[in-house]
Chains A and B, each alone.
Chain A
Amino acid sequence: MSISEQALLDELEHGNSRPWRDWAYLALLTAASGAGLWHYGAAMDGYEQAISIGSAISLGVMALRWRAIQSLSIAVLLLCTAAFMSYQGDLARAESAFWLRYVLSSQSAIMWMSALFVMSTLAYYWGLLLRSEFSSRVGSALSWCATAMGLVGLVVRWRESYLIHPDYGHIPVSNLYEVFILFAVITALLYLHYESSHQNRRLGAFALTVISAAVAFLLWYQFSRGADEILPLVPALNSYWMKIHVPANFIGYGAFAVSAMMACAYLLRQWSVRRFGEDNAFARQIDVEMVEDVMYKSIALGFAFFTLATVLGALWAAEAWGGYWSWDPKETWALIVWLNYAAWLHLKLSKGWRGAPMAWWSVVGLFVTLFAFLGVNMFLSGLHSYGGL
C-alpha cells in the first residue's frame, strides 16, 4: 500500500484510526462466517472447521489491505444467499425458477463469467490499442463482475453437489473443469490487484488474454466433453487437504500466468521498439517499469504459494498414499516447476538479471507450468489421475 506524506501527518495528529466501513465489513464478515459455521458446521470435521475459520480470517486481512475485496465478497455473499434461498432444497428449480435459470445456477453463473471475461478482454484491447482510458475502465469493471460471477458459480456448484445427493457433495476443486474456473478467477484477481496498486490499466489486455484462453478451453471442455456434470469424488480425493492444497496451487498457477503475460507485454514492446523506433504509440502504452515489477512480484507470489501447495501436497500424500514423496509424475513436474522458478528468482535477486532474457524465461516457465497442470494428466499416467481429459 502506498502511503502519502499528508496521510502520515494526519495519522500523527489524530492517531491511527480505521475508517468505519472497515469495522462494518469486519462485523459483517464475522456474522456471515458465524452463520455459515452454525448452519453447516455439523457437516464438517474439526479440520474443515479450522480451514473455514482460517479462510474467513485471511479474507478479513486481505479485505483490509485491499478494500475492493470488501465489495466483491459482499456481492458474492448476496448473490449466493439469493441462489441458496431460491433453490429451496430442490435442484429441479434450477430449470424453473427465473433467477436461477438465467443468472444464479452454477451453470448460468459460469456462463456469465465466461461472457464477461471475454467482453472484458475486448474492452481492454480497445483501451490499449485506441488509447482509451474509458474503455480500459470498462474492461476493469467487467473483470470484477466476471470474477464475482465465477465465485458465485463455484459456491453455488458446491451447494448443488449436495442437492444432487449427499454422496456427491464436495468442494468444486476436484476436477479439471472446476479448477479452470478457479484458475480464471484467481488470475483475474491477481491481475486486478496489480492494476489497482499501480493505477495502470493498460496491461489488462495481456492478463485477460490468458484468462480468455482458459475460458475458451472451459467452454470446449463443457460442450464437447460434458465436463460440467457434477460427479461424486473418488475416494483418494475425499479429504480436507484438497480444500487447501488445490487453491494454494492455483494461486501459484495464476501468478505464473500473470507473470508470463507481463513478459509477453515486455517482449511485444521490445519488438515494437525495434520495428518502429523508441517512441512508437504502442511502446508508450506499456510502462516497462510496471511490467518488470509485476513480473517479479507475481513470480515471487506464485513461488511462495506453489511452495506452500507442494508442501501441503506432500503432507496429504503422506496420509493418502503412504509417503510424502513418491516421484509420481505430477509431483515430479511440480518439482520441475519449482526448480525452474527458483532458478529465475536466483538470477533476478542474486545476479540482478532483467529485461528480455528474464521475460523469455518467464514465458517458457508458463509452458512448463502448463505441462505440469495439464500435460501430465493428458500424457503421463500416475497417481494424480483425477484430472484427465
Chain B
Amino acid sequence: MSSSATGVARGPGSPLWRDARLMMRFFGSMNLAITLLVVIAIASVIGTIILQNEPYTAYIEKFGPFWHPVFATLGLYDVYSAGWFLALMAFLVLSVLVCVTRNAPAMLKELRQWRSEVTERSLEGYRQTRLWHSQDADALRDTTKRLMALRHYRTREHQRDDGAIMIVARKGTWNRLGYLFAHLSIVVICLGGLLDSRLGLKLASWVGDLRIETRNLPVSQVPPESFVPLWNPSFRGNVNIPEGQSADVAFLALADGYVVQPLPFQIEVEDFHTEHNVNGTPKSFRSDLVIHDETLAEPLRQRISVNSPLIHRGYAIYQSDFSDGGSALSLTLWPLQGGEAVEIETEVFAELALEDYPQRLEMDDFRLFNINPVLQDDGETEQKNFGPSITFRVRAPTGEAVEYINYLAPVVIDDFASILSGMRRSLADEHAYLYIPADAQGSTTLFMRLVAALRAPVTRDAALAQTVNTLTANRDEQGQALRDSLSQSISALLAQFLDQGLDDISVRVQEIAADGEQGAMLDAYLRMLQLVVASAYGQLIDESPHKAVEDEAMWLEKAFLALNGVAEYGSPFYVQLRGFTHIQATGLQIAKAPGTYLVYLGSFLLCLGVFMMFYVHQRRLWVLVTPQEHEGQMSYRVRCAGSDVRRSKAFEQEFQAIAGALARATGDPK
C-alpha cells in the first residue's frame, strides 16, 4: 500500500481527496475483506482453547507467573472484548460498509432499470443470443409474453424510435437486494452486539469511575464505587437467591472480580424445585418468583424454568443455575491424631474457628443429590445417586487450604460399602478419595472410634499388649524383657504407620534390611500392624454398643487401607455429616440487552439476504423485433439474447429452451 500511496501524493489534484479515495479502495478491497474473515476466524479459536473469564488465580496456576501477565495484557482471558479483537471486528464492519456504499447505487439503479435501450449490436455479442425471422409481429409479441410468463419472467415492451419493438423480460431482480441485505446485516448485528457488550463497563473501570471488587462480600458491604448506575442500559449478571429470600441486585463478572448492578425491583424466591426423571437425572429446574415493583399494582408472581424466562420491564430473568442457600448442618469432628470428638451445628457458607484445632473450617456447599456415572461390570455406565454430600475447606493458620467433599451415605463398590471422602489441595487437581469402611449402621462412626482407639494411650496399650500376646503365644520361654521391647517397637511402628503411612515404612525397610530380606520384613511389619488394628477393633466391639460388622475380615482389610490413607489425609479431623436441613438457592441470570432487537433484525436480514443471493437468480432476456422490407414484403428480424450474472449452465439451458421454443412458434423453420 505504501508505495502506491507515495505515488499518488506526487500526483495532481487535492491530496486529501486522493488519500480518502485510496483509503476507500483499501477498505473496500476484496482481499482485505477475505483476509479479515480468515483472521477473525483464527483469532476466535483462542477463546475456545483458553477458558474465558476464569479467576486470575486459576490462570496463574495454569500458565505460570511469566506467561500470565503477558496473556492478561494481550486480553487472552477475555478475547472477545479485547481491544485488538474489537478493532478487527470494526475493520470488518468498515470494510463491509465501504463495499456496500460502492456497490449499492449501481445495484439500486439496476433494480429500476429495464435496459430497453440496448443496441442490437451489443445483443449480438452476448453469450446467449439467437437470430430468426418472423412474419407476424403481433403473434410474436403475444407468444413472447406468454412464454415469459410461463417461466415467471416479467416483461415490458418498448417502442423504439426506429420502429423496432423491444420486449425486455427479467426475473430475480431481488438477487441484488439479497447482496445488500446480507452485507448490511453484518453491520446491524455488530452494532447490536456492541450495544449489548461490556465495553461501557470496561471503559468505566478503565477510566476509574468503577472499581472492580475482588473480595467475597455481602452486598451491603460492597463499597459504592463498585456499584453500576441503575440506568446502565445493558448488562448480563447473575444472582443467587436462597428460598424465602429476595434480592434487588445482580453481580456482573468483570476482569478478575465483579461489580454490582442494582435493579429497580425486588426478586423474591418463594421456592426452587428440581424434578427428576425416572432414572434419577434432573428433568427440570424451576423457581417460583415474586417481583415486587413500585410500578406494579400488586406483586407479579411467575414460575420460571430453563427455556422459559420472565421478562419484566426489559429485564429478562432466566433460570440458569442452582446452589445451596445456606443449609443447616449437624457435624461431628472426629479426631484423626488424638483428642475428643466434637459436635457442632453450622450452616453452608459459614466460616468457623475451632476450639481444639488451629485450623479454620469453611463450609462451601451441601448437595442433596450426587448423580454420577458409574462403570458397571458389563462395561455400561449407569447413573447412580451417591446421596448427600458436604464440601468444605480446612484452612491452616498459614493460609493454605485443603478442599474436602464428604458423603453421608455409603456407596457399594465391589460388594463392599464404603463412605467416600474426597480431598484435593488445589482446585486444578482431581479429588483423591479416602474409602472409609461403613459400619453396621452405614456410618463412619466405627472406623472413627477405631482411629481414636489406636491413638488414645489406654486403648492403644491394651491393643499392643494383646498383639504381643498373640505373637508370643507359642513361645513361653521368651522373657518379659523381650515382650517389652517387642511392644515398644510395635508401638513405634504403629505411630509411624498412623502418621506417615505404609510408604514411609517401606522406605525405612529398604534402608535397614538387606536386599533379600526386605519382603519378609515388610510382611512381618504388616502382620503386626494388622494384628494391632484387629485387637483394637475387637476391644471396641466388646465394650461399646457397636454391632459387629458382617464380614469382619473384609472390614478390617478395608479399614487398614483407610488408616493408611488417613496419614495423607491432610486434616487433623474428619468431618462427619450427621444431619441437615436442606435450603436451596436458585441461580438467576438477569440480562438487559437493548441491542437484541437490532441483532434479531440483522439476523433476519442476513438469512433473507443469503437465501436471496443463492436462490433468486437474476436473469434478463431481450427480444428485439425489427421490421424489414424484403422484395415488397414486410418481415421481422427477431434478435433474442439473454444474460445472467452467474453465467450458469442452468440459464444456458433455459435460454436455449425459451429462444428455441419462441423461434419454432413464430416462424423460424429450424
Contact = CB atoms under 8 A, between A and B. Distances in A.
Contact of B596 (A16, A293, A300, A324): A324
Question: Closest 10 CB pairs between A and B?
Answer: A5-B660, A322-B318, A339-B41, A8-B661, A322-B589, A329-B48, A343-B37, A311-B603, A232-B277, A239-B307
B307 A319 contact: yes
17 contacts: A12-B143, A12-B665, A235-B282, A235-B284, A304-B607, A314-B599, A319-B308, A321-B318, A322-B316, A322-B318, A323-B591, A324-B599, A325-B599, A327-B79, A339-B37, A347-B34, A381-B51
Contacts of A339: 37-38, 40-41, 44
A350 B649 CA distance: 18
Q: Which of B380, B658, B661 has the most CB of A within 10 A?
A: B661
Given A4-B657, A5-B660, A376-B48, A11 B38 contact: no
B279 A231 contact: yes
Contacts of B649: 289, 293
Interface stretch (A79-87, A150-158, A202-210, A330-338): A330-338
B38 A2 contact: no
A307 interface: yes
B610 interface: yes
A171 to B, nearest CB: 15
Interface residues of B, number: 69
B63 interface: no
B261 interface: no
Contact of B607 (A231, A311, A318, A336): A311
B512 interface: no
Interface string B192-215: 010010000000000000000000
Interface in B609-650: 610-611, 614-615, 649-650
A339 B37 CA distance: 6
Given A315-B600, A346-B34, A232 B143 contact: no
B75 interface: no
A238 interface: yes
Contact of A336 (B45, B151, B600): B45
B661 A318 contact: no
Nearest to B80: A327
Interface string B236-256: 100000000000000000000
A165 B279 CA distance: 11
A144 interface: no
Contacts of B278: 165, 167, 232
Instruction: Report the contact-size class of chain A (Cβ under 8 Å from the partner).
Output: 35 or more
A163 B593 CA distance: 42
A167 B283 contact: yes
Nearest to B99: A350
B496 interface: no
Contacts of B147: 8, 12
Contacts of A6: 661
A9 interface: yes
Interface string A326-366: 01010011011001101100110011000000000000000
Nearest to A350: B30
A339 B193 CA distance: 17
A235 B283 contact: yes
B220 interface: no
Interface string A201-238: 00000000000000000000000001000011011101
Interface string B145-164: 01100110000000000000
B38 A340 contact: yes
B594 interface: no
A61 B610 CA distance: 20
B539 interface: no
B21 interface: no
Contacts of B302: none
B309 interface: yes
Contacts of A138: none
B485 interface: no
A333 B318 contact: no
Contacts of B80: 327
B87 interface: no
B508 interface: no
A318 B193 CA distance: 13
A244 interface: no
A18 to B, nearest CB: 13
Contacts of B33: 346
Interface string B29-50: 0100110011011001101110
A332 B658 contact: no
B135 interface: no
Contacts of B279: 231-232
Interface string B381-412: 10000000000000000000000000000000
A168 interface: yes
A322 B236 contact: yes
Nearest to A242: B307
Contacts of A232: 277-279, 281, 283
Given A232-B283, A332-B44, A12 B318 contact: no
Given A5-B656, A336-B44, A234 B665 contact: no
Interface of B: 30, 33-34, 37-38, 40-41, 44-45, 47-49, 51-52, 79-80, 143, 146-147, 150-151, 193, 196, 236, 277-279, 281-285, 305-309, 316, 318, 320, 379-381, 589-591, 593, 596, 599-600, 603-604, 606-607, 610-611, 614-615, 649-650, 653-654, 656-658, 660-661, 664-665
B659 to A, nearest CB: 9
A4 B664 CA distance: 13
A51 interface: no
Given A231-B279, A339-B41, A314 B650 contact: no
Interface in A290-325: 293, 300-301, 303-304, 307-308, 311, 314-315, 318-325
Nearest to A353: B34
A281 B139 CA distance: 52
A335 B44 contact: yes
A321 B320 contact: yes
Nearest to B146: A12
Given A8-B658, A307-B610, A320-B307, 7 more contacts: A5-B657, A232-B283, A236-B306, A293-B649, A319-B309, A332-B45, A343-B41
A300 B196 CA distance: 31
B603 A3 contact: no
A315 B593 CA distance: 13
Contact of B49 (A318, A321, A380): A380
A7 interface: yes
B593 to A, nearest CB: 7
Contacts of A321: 318, 320, 589
Interface string A1-45: 011111111011000100000000000000000000000000000
B281 A323 contact: no
Nearest to A9: B661
Given A235-B285, A236-B306, A311-B603, A8 B150 contact: yes
Contacts of A380: 48-49
Contacts of A2: 650, 653
A235 B320 CA distance: 11
A234 B274 CA distance: 12
Contacts of B30: 346, 350-351
Q: Which of B48, B51, B196, B309 has the most CB of A within 10 A?
A: B48
Contact of B150 (A12, A167, A315): A12
Nearest to B92: A339
Contacts of B615: 304
B48 A332 contact: yes
Contacts of B285: 235
B658 A235 contact: no
Contacts of B599: 314, 324-325
A336 B236 contact: no
B283 A342 contact: no
Contacts of A9: 661, 664-665
B277 A238 contact: no
Contacts of B41: 335-336, 339-340, 343
